[in-house]
Each structure stands twice: as structure tokens, then as C-alpha cells.
Amino acid sequence: SAGFYDFQFALYDAESNGSLLWSEVQEQIEVTAGNFNVFLGSGVPLPEGIFARQELWLEVAVRQSGETEFAYLSPRQRFSAPSNAQSIDGPAQSNSLSCEHTHFGESWSGTGLAGLLIHTPSGNLGGALYGKTGGIGYGVVGQQDVTSSIAGGGVAGFSDSASGYAGYFENNGGGIGVSAKSNTNYGIRGESGSGVGVFGKSNSHDGIRGESAGTGKSGVYGYNSQNGYGVFGRSTNDFGIGAVGVDATPYDTLGDLWLGGDYGEIYAEGYMDLFSNRDIFLDLDDDNNESNACFKIFNGGNSVISQTCENGTKSAVLQTRDYEQRAVYVIESPEVWLQDFGTATLQDGQVTVTFETIFAQTINTELDYHVQLTPLCQEPLILFVVAKNKNGFTVKGVGLDGSPSSCSFDYSVTAKRLGVEELRLEEVSTER
């Protein structure tokens, strides 16, 4: 019945059993009234010289789409190789147009559909037209001389097969499969109504490569007139997109990635990670035409929550009730200190304050630290630190008459951050 079927083709050296010489599977072949057309070798190339064999048998198996097993058609069909067929490098001479004389140098002209029309209704393995040259010229040449805005092509190929090609080119000698050139327009142009316009694939190299010698032009340029991506890259095991540009010096305005327009934007649908094996430099106001450009961090409500500006200030940004957003600035220090704050209460004029456990693991408790005290009392109170160790400090408090106090007090502890105790006004180089 009519429909689309999968076919398995195999060539043997005997009518039954024998040795398998070649096989391939072609899927989704249209069958109409029991007839179908395929090009053997379009999936798996035919072995060189196979048609020079005296015994060559074709076995065909078929299955409907969606099935897993093939049904074999019996018996095998024999191929009769031409007596002078030595290899597949040249066309077979049987069942083909032939002349006893040559037509070198002749020119034919006419007003019909084609200057030369050749039809091979059952040419399943060969071509309707075969051209070959042993020199450095071309096997087949087509030329189109119409200069109007609407014109045809020098060579055109058409195919009605879902698995075939309108044009097929192959080079087994290390050269280029397809070479196209235009002096003023596209070298190659591909267009599809619902599929891919141009598809490139390589098993060991780049799938598609573009190269340009034009100033201000691109090796590969992508454009989308609708809502899709101009250029999209995806990789199973590596980066989706890679870029390498001019890296001679970090002070020029050249690099690996350029974002055009008034706003250069990078958007991550999920988390965004920024990695570097060395420093990360952020140049604010690189063209030096702003009074104080800032690196700002926004929240989901498009409010600034933090900023670092080119004048060296670092600030958080807070939303006020009556005065919109306002910046609050960090207190700078010549050394690296950590602070903790708290409140304690005297018991009979004395109390020991123990460092909070997590805070104690972030500071160097082997070095001296600073303690500041503020009384919280309705009477005069004298506070003094009588002992300090790696676990905390002890405070005594007495009134003006020397009597022990039971008042509360606030305290702050300032200690060296663990691991960077020696840093003080470290020199910063402007070199990159």
C-alpha cells in the first residue's frame, strides 16, 4: 500500500547465503502504487570496483514506519555487470546513450526547454548525465548569461525525494566538496521554508567555518528578524560559545567579546557563574567622560542595593520613607579588622564575656584585640577590662564610692581577621 517505508539494501556475491559486500538502510521512502525511487550509496558509499564483479546480488528488506523488524523480499535480484566495467570511477556503457563519434568543439543551440535532455527512468545507481575530465578543468560546466534582475542559474538540481538531495557533491581526494564564489553577492545562500537554511557537519572538525578579510565585518554573521537568537551555540561537553580576540594589552579597547548598542547586556535564565584563573578587572568610565561612574547592583525590584564608584567609595543603597534611595558608606581602615557587638550585665561588679563561637573562628585570638565599653546605668559607673584571653574578656564595674555595680553595658570587640593579620596599607599596583 502507499505510504512511507524503511528499506534495507544489501549486496551479496551469491544468490543465497554468500558474503555480504555492502549494506545500508534508507528510512521514510515514499511508496506509490508499489513504486519507489532510491539512490543506492546515498547513506553508505558503495565500495570501489564492486560493479566489476561477475556475481552480484541485491537483497531488499522493508518495514513500515514504527516497526522494529524488516521483512525480507525473496528472491535476491541479480545485477549484470557490464563486460567492460572495471570500477565505479566511470559510467557503465550498457543501457545508455552512446555515439560512435565525438562532438568535441561543437555547439548546439535551440529554443526548447533544454539544450540537451537525458532521461533515465530506472537509473537507480547512476546518473542521467555523467561528465569526467582527466585534466585540471571541470567534468560538468553550466553557464547562465541573463543579466536581468530575475534570472536562473548556471546549474540547477531538483529532487522530489524526502531522503535525497537536489545536489550532491563529494571529494575523496582531500579537496573541497563544494566551492562557490560571487564577486558582489553571497558566495553560498541557503533557504528553507520550515527547516534549516544551511547545515554543516563534521565528525572531527568545525561544522561551519566563516572567514572574512573585510574591515569591520564578521567571519560569521547571524541575524533574526523575529524573536529568536541572532547566533546560538550549544555544546554537549564543552562551552556553547567560545571567543578569542586581540589580547595584546589590557589597556586597549579590544578584547574577546563586544556588545553593541547603548546597553551591553548579558542575561542568565538561572544562576550565573563568572570564573577567572587570575584577576578580574572592571574598567569604569573607560572613555573617561563621566564625573563618577559606578558599578551598581540592583535587586529584583530594580532598586540599587550596592555600588562601587570610580572615586573609590563603596556603599550600600537604602530605601527611605521620605527621601527615596540614599547611600550609606563603609568605614575604611588601614588594616583588616573584624568587629562584634553585644550587651552584658555585671554580677556583683564583674562579668566575663565569651566570644561568640563562629566569630571566634574568624579572628586571630592569639593576638591582642580591642574592647570598647559603654555603661547602661542610672548612676555613675566606672568600667574597666581586667583580663583578656583567647576565649573572651572580663569586665569590672564600680560606682563612684567603689561599691560593686550590677548595671549593664554595651561592648564592641575589634580583632585582627584570621589569615591576613600582617596587611597594612598594602601597595596596589596599577599594572595588569
**Ramachandran region, residue 285 (left: φ > 0; alpha: ψ -120 to 50; beta: rest):** left
Q: Write the CB contacts of 405 (distance below 8 Å, at least 6 apart in sequence).
A: 346, 349, 377, 379, 381, 397, 398, 399
pLDDT at 94: 43
> What is the tens place of the pLDDT at every residue in 40-72?
888 899 898 888 888 899 999 999 877 889 999
User: What's the CA angle centered on 221, arms 265 and 251, to 5 degrees?
Assistant: 55
Q: What is the pLDDT of residues 274-292, one digit of tens each?
A: 999 988 888 888 888 888 8
Residues 6+ away with beta carbon under 8 Å from 201: 207
**305, containing H or E segment:** strand 304-309
User: Which residues, including other chains, have CB under 8 Å from residue 268's CB and lie 6 or more apart?
Assistant: none
Mean per-residue pLDDT, 20-47: 88
Handedness of CA 365, 366, 372, 375 (dihedral sign): positive
Q: Which CATH architecture describes the domain 337-416? A: Sandwich (2.60)
**Residue 431 or 56, more confident:** 56
Q: Which long-range contacts (CB under 8 A, 24 or more apart) does 323-332 make?
A: none
Sheet holding 71-78, edge to edge: 20-31, 3-12, 57-64, 71-78
Confidence of residue 92 (pLDDT cuts 50, 70, 90): very low
pLDDT of residue 126: 58
Share of the chain above pLDDT 70, in %: 85
What local confidence, expressed as pLDDT, does residue 288 receive?
83
Domain ranges of the chain: 3-78, 294-329, 337-416
pLDDT at 73 over 70: yes
The residue type at 117: L
DSSP reduced 3-state for 210: coil
The pTM is what? 0.53
On the CB side of 190, CA atoms within 13 Å amount to 10
Which residues, other chains included, contact 379 with Cβ-Cβ below 8 Å and sequence gap of 6+? Answer: 399, 405, 407
Segment of 237-246, 261-270, 317-326 carrying the highest mean pLDDT: 317-326
pLDDT beyond 60 at 123: no
Contact of 200 with 207, CB cutoff 8 Å? yes
Tell me what the mean pLDDT of segment 123-148 comes to. Answer: 69
Q: What is the mean pLDDT of the chain?
A: 84
For residue 393, which amino acid is it? Answer: F
CB of 327 closer than 8 Å to CB of 333: no
Q: Residue 121: which pLDDT band, with cuts at 50, 70 and 90?
A: low
CB 154 within 8 A of CB 143: yes
